[in-house]
């Protein structure tokens, strides 16, 4: 065999090796995310009914709008959502190490396109789902800005389910409950099977299921839609544009 032939076979071997390694890494990341989901659901299944009851009865949901609530900024200061009165809002609980984290790219693209038309995206990092947001508020912001160039408001890392959940999320969940994952997403059957094993009643509960759940708020401060992380981002963008 010629020397060129040897080099050619060696190059092909290296390419296959790299491709195989990349596929293995992607598979490991996906498996870790699913394991994290199973652990989270297993821990919360016993308290699910109590948490759901809290969501439904903790506040008077009929007399409030999004502008009645406050969020804590990364500097610890309270920020009134009345600051965005008259705006269309997309409120998202996010994570930095999740399989859905690349949605930051599409969120930022949507923000750049629609900000001048009245859209604001409110980013609330949360570490409740598989411990996929372990960093400090400063580290989270640095990651998002360097990796995805995000420019929309980001708030203090907070809980969106359970005893310490934000009052805003208690209200959001009372306005729009869980309506199912997107049927066409390839992860939906895996997620549904995992949730079924952890808590047979999970479909009936309004709690946030995972990172990158989105609530769409109209200019009157009313919740008009809830999108699970499996929902196609182009459809999310279309729904936003439809009410601008």
- pLDDT tens for 130-155 read 899 999 999 999 999 999 999 999 99
CB 208 within 8 A of CB 96: no
- Please, which residues bridge with residue 125 across strands? 94
Write out the catalytic residue numbers.
Answer: 98
pLDDT (0 to 100) of residue 3 = 52
Please, what is the average pLDDT of the chain?
Answer: 84
pLDDT in tens, 172-187: 999 999 999 999 999 8
- pTM for this prediction: 0.78
Q: Are 210 and 50 in contact (CB under 8 A)?
A: no
For 47-69, how does the pLDDT look when each residue is reduced to its tens digit (9 = 90+)? Answer: 443 344 343 334 444 558 999 99
Neighbour tally for 16: CB within 10 Å: 10
What domains are defined for the chain? 3-243 (3.40.30.10)
pLDDT at 70 exceeding the cut of 90: yes
């Amino acid at each position: 065999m010629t020397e060129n032939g040897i080099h050619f076979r060696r190059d092909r071997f290296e390419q296959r090796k790299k491709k195989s390694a990349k596929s293995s890494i992607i598979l490991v990341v996906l498996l870790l995310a699913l394991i994290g989901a199973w652990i989270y659901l297993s821990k919360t299944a016993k308290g699910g009914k109590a948490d759901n009851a809290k969501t439904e009865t903790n506040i008077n949901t009929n007399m409030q709008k999004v502008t009645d609530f406050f969020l804590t900024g990364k500097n610890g200061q309270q920020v009134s959502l009345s600051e965005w009165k008259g705006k269309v809002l997309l409120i998202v609980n996010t994570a930095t190490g999740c399989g859905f984290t690349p949605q930051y790219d599409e969120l930022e693209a949507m923000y750049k396109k629609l900000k001048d038309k009245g859209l604001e995206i409110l980013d609330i990092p949360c570490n409740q789902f598989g411990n996929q947001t372990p960093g400090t508020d400063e580290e989270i912001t640095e990651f998002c800005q360097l990796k995805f160039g995000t420019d929309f408001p980001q708030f203090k890392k907070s809980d969106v389910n359970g005893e310490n959940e934000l009052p805003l999320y208690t209200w959001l969940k009372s306005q729009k409950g869980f309506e199912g994952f997107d049927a066409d997403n390839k992860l939906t059957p895996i997620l549904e099977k995992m949730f079924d094993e952890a808590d047979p009643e999970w479909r009936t509960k309004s709690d946030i299921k995972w990172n990158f759940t989105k609530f769409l708020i109209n200019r009157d401060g009313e919740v008009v839609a809830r999108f699970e992380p499996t929902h196609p981002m182009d459809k999310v963008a279309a729904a936003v544009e439809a009410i601008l």
